[in-house]
């Protein structure tokens, strides 16, 4: 169980020791002092410190960063050194730096000259040449003049090299010396345009002979009331010049310098950062890179036609990305869309083909079906026609039946009324037919009926109408018949039937017909009127002995 006293003790303990632990964390952060040879505006120093800070930030080590500049180019060095020494002593009186980085020959010289300044600090020198002290880590910023000059000669093949530089500072002199001895080593003639004001320089470079090459050792110039940093001086020179310009530092790339074997201030800064990180961690100092390499400005490479000469492993700046690099995403998306479109089109074509195939099959089937329907319709229509005809024809004799007779008779009657063409009706009835049937049998009777029909048909004209209108009863309409004609015709029919026996099996059957004749009379309303009179005449023929022709008295 926690009592109040114990709780108070724990809380007090936490509150007392917490600030101490925070302070301890703060104490573990390293203080780094960075001293540049030039001024705060010097691009070289800016790039080195930038590289240093970037590397330190990436290392994840906690540190506090302080930067100062010796401004060695503006002041007398020794006098400046004493002033700077006192200033820094005072500035870091409370807490001296753990690491002292000096960038450039002047700052490194200063660092080595005052070992008593920040005596406990680990020193990193970024300078060219000798380290000068066993207590300092050297980042060698010595320009490899020979490699640099050889690369320049290889690319531009100059007949003469014009060196632009200053000889004010010892470091400037050192640099010019390195360049000239490298050119002498390579047997290339040269001329130094040294310590010249900018207008003089611009005039000089504008009149250089063909096949000249300019080597630019970075210089500061005051021009038209402005302080021009080396990069901007180079820009002016580049505009005035008709010759390619080479230099030693990539900090001036992009202002008209071609490139070549260069040192990179930023990379030197990275190396210093790596060294500082190793010092803090207490491990061995190993650099993953050096501060030199082949670097080119692609615009200048193209301008001077060096595309095929530069090393394939070189770093090329400002090269416009290829169409592929620029629009990679869009190109891939377009290609994918095209593929998809192609796939869809293929699928559609396939589906369309299948549909067309199915449609063709269906069409064939439909045509076949239509053909069958047509055939069937024709068949049905034929059957219908036959059925209609059958309904009008007497099956036994092949003559029109009673119904057909009355249809035709109606037409004949109508035509007679309209055109006054008279017609005659013959009513025929086989005599004593019942007896024939009874004597010879029904099939024999049928044969007799057929024979009578045949005789009638053989004797009348095609325009006349003969029909079987009852069991053994026939009617004939004779058109435009004269009195003599229709009577003699009736007589001939009667005569032939009675004279010519009908052969059936072994029998010779004799038969006869009675005929009643009536003629159309004006006032007859229909065929029935004439038939009625013909029927009466027939009745009379029957009554008066049969096998005879009787004419309706109205006709006579
Ligand atoms: N074989 C056969 N006989 C038929 C057919 N149609 C009607 N008959 C017969 O014809 C006979 C007609 O007889 P009836 O009306 O008495 O007259 P009929 O014997 O001819 O005497 P009349 O007319 O007075 O001369 C009946 O016996 C019917 O059965 C047929 O198509 N075939």
Atom of ligand 1 minimally distant from the CA of 429:
23
Cβ(439) – ligand 1 distance below 6 Å: no
Average pLDDT, the chain: 88
**How many CA atoms are closer than 13 Å to the CA of 469, on its beta-carbon side?**
22
Please choose from 402, 437, 446, 452 the residue to mutate so as to test ligand 1's pocket, defined by most ligand atoms within 8 A of CB. 437
Of 171, 37, 172, 175, the closest CA to residue 103 belongs to 37
> Cα-flanking dihedrals φ and ψ of residue 342, to 5°?
-60, -45
- The CATH architecture assigned to 402-551 reads 2-Layer Sandwich (3.30)
Residue range 129-185, pLDDT digits in tens: 655 566 788 888 887 899 999 999 999 999 999 999 999 877 788 889 999 999 999
pLDDT category of residue 229 using cuts at 50, 70 and 90:
confident
Q: First-to-last CA distance in the chain? A: 161
**Residue 78's pLDDT is what?**
62
Closest to 480 (Cα-Cα) out of 422, 523, 416 = 422
Which of 471, 512, 543 has most ligand 1 atoms within 8 Å of its beta carbon, as the pocket-test mutant?
Answer: 471
Name which residue sits closest to atom 5 of ligand 1, judged by CA. Answer: 471
> Region 393-415: what's the mean pLDDT?
93
CB atoms within 10 A of CB 460: 18
Q: Which atom of ligand 1 is nearest to the CA of 444?
A: 1
Strand pairing report for 212-216 and 160-165:
parallel
This complex has an ipTM of 0.95
* 53-103: pLDDT as tens digits: 999 999 889 999 999 998 876 665 566 788 899 999 999 999 999 999 999
What ranges do the domains of the chain cover? 26-143+260-319, 144-247, 321-390, 402-551
Domain at 144-247: CATH code:
3.40.50.2300
Q: Which two tokens stand for residue 193?
A: 């345009």
Global pTM? 0.50
Check whether 481 has a pLDDT greater than 80. no
Range in 1-5, 150-154, 436-440, 488-492 with the lowest mean pLDDT: 1-5
Length reported for the chain = 556
pLDDT value at position 106?
Answer: 84
- Ligand 1 contacts CB of residue 300 (under 6 A): no
Which of 472, 473, 502, 538 has the most ligand 1 atoms within 8 A of CB, as the residue to mutate? 472
CA 445–ligand 1 middle distance (angstroms):
9
Domain 26-143+260-319 matches domain 402-551 at the CATH topology level? no
Q: How far apart are CA 351 and CA 348, in angstroms?
A: 5
Residue-wise pLDDT for 238-247, tens only, equals 999 999 999 9
Nearest to 433 by CA among 295, 547, 298, 317: 547
Of the listed ranges 69-83, 289-303, 320-334, the least confidently predicted one is 69-83
Q: Is the CB of 429 under 6 A from ligand 1?
A: yes
Distance (angstroms) between ligand 1 centre and the Cα of 473 equals: 9
427 HSE (CA, 13 A, CB side):
26
Q: Higher model confidence: residue 400 or residue 326?
A: 400
DSSP readout, 246-310? EESBGGGBTTTB-EEEEE-HHHHHHHHHHHHHHHHHT-----SS-SEEEEEEHHHHHHTT-TTTS
Q: Which stretch of DSSP H or E encloses residue 162?
A: strand 160-165
Give mean pLDDT, residues 536-546: 96
What is the topology classification, in CATH, of domain 26-143+260-319? Rossmann fold (3.40.50)
Q: How confident is the model at residue 500 (pLDDT cuts 50, 70, 90)?
A: very high
């Amino acid at each position: 169980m926690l009592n109040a006293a114990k709780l108070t003790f724990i809380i007090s303990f936490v509150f007392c020791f917490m600030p101490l632990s925070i302070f301890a964390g703060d104490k573990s952060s390293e203080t780094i002092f960075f001293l540049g040879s030039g001024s705060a505006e010097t691009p070289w120093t800016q790039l080195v410190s930038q590289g240093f800070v970037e590397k330190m930030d990436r290392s994840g080590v906690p540190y506090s960063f302080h930067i100062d500049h010796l401004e060695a180019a503006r002041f007398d060095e020794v006098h400046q050194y004493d002033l700077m020494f006192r200033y820094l002593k005072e500035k870091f009186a409370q807490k001296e730096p753990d690491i002292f980085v000096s960038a450039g020959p002047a700052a490194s010289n200063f660092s080595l000259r005052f070992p008593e300044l920040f005596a406990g600090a680990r020193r990193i020198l970024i300078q060219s040449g000798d380290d000068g002290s066993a207590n300092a880590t050297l980042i060698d910023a010595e320009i490899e003049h020979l490699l640099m000059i050889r690369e320049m000669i290889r690319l531009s093949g100059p007949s003469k090299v014009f060196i632009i530089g200053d000889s004010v500072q010892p470091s400037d002199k050192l640099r010019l010396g390195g360049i000239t001895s490298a050119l002498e080593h390579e047997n290339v003639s040269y001329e130094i345009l040294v310590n010249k004001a900018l207008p003089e320089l611009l005039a000089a470079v504008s009149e250089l002979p063909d096949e000249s090459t300019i080597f630019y050792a970075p210089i500061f110039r005051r021009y038209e009331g402005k302080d021009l940093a080396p990069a901007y001086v180079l820009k002016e020179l580049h505009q005035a010049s008709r010759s390619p310009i080479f230099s030693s530092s990539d900090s001036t790339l992009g202002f008209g310098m071609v490139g070549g074997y260069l040192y990179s201030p930023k990379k030197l800064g990275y190396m210093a950062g790596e060294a500082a990180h190793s010092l803090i961690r207490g491990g061995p100092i190993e650099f993953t890179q050096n501060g030199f390499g082949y670097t080119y400005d692609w615009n200048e490479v193209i301008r001077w036609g060096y595309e095929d000469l530069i090393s394939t492993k070189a770093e090329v700046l400002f090269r416009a990305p290829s169409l592929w690099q620029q629009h990679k995403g869009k190109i891939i998306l377009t290609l994918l869309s095209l593929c998809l479109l192609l796939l869809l089109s293929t699928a559609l074509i396939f589906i369309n083909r299948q549909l067309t195939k199915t449609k063709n099959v269906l069409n064939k089937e439909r045509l076949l079906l239509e053909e069958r329907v047509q055939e069937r319709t024709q068949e049905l229509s034929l059957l219908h026609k036959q059925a209609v005809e059958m309904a009008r024809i007497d099956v036994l004799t092949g003559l029109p039946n009673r119904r057909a007779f009355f249809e035709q008779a109606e037409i004949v009657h109508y035509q007679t009324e309209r055109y006054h063409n008279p017609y005659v009706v013959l009513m025929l009835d086989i005599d004593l037919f019942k007896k024939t049937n009874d004597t010879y049998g029904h099939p024999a009777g049928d044969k007799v009926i057929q024979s009578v029909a045949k005789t009638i048909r053989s004797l009348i004209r095609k325009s006349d109408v003969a029909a079987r209108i009852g069991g053994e009863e026939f009617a004939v309409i004779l058109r435009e018949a004269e009195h003599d004609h229709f009577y003699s015709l009736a007589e001939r029919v009667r005569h032939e039937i009675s004279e010519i026996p009908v052969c059936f099996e072994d029998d010779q059957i004799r038969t006869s017909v009675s005929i009643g004749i009536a003629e159309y009379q004006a006032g007859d309303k229909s065929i029935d009127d004439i038939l009625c009179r013909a029927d009466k005449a027939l009745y009379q023929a029957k009554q008066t002995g049969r096998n005879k022709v009787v004419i309706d008295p109205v006709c006579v």
